[in-house]
A = this chain, B = another copy of it.
Amino acid sequence: MTTLHVINKTPSESSALRDSLIAMSDGDALLLIENGVYATLPAYSEHFSRLTANVQCYLLTDDAQARGLNDLNQDFCGIDYDGFVELSCRYSKVVSWF
């Protein structure tokens, strides 16, 4: 069964991102929300180097825009809350990391 992993903390304020990457399987997806969107800063790209091409990466644009992250990282697909809900349906479950 596939999983949508939702991360809402920066790499500095919690080990949520690190732990989620340990827990990811091929075919899963990763969604950054709230302070989690800061992980799309290019300086943090090494965190995602372990991920295979079979893990899709998303970020919530509402949270990115709120924080002035307008030059979106090309490795992440921006979605809105409707997209968040659609992803929650497409994957068999949602796991939150905070």
**Chain A contact residues, CB within 8 Å of chain B:** 12-15
Secondary structure at chain A's binding surface: helix, strand, loop or mixed? loop
Q: Are B12 and A12 in contact (CB under 8 A)?
A: no
Inter-chain CA distance A37–B24, complex, in Å, is 31
Within the complex, the shortest CB–CB distance from A47 to chain B, in Å, comes to 15
Q: Which residues of B contact A12 (CB under 8 A)?
A: 15
Chain B residue numbers with a CB within 8 Å of A13 are 14-15
Closest to A10 in B: B15
Measured in the bound complex, the distance between the Cα atoms of B11 and A51 in whole Å is: 25
Give 4 pairs: A residue, B residue, CB < 8 Å, sorted on A: A12-B15, A13-B14, A13-B15, A14-B14
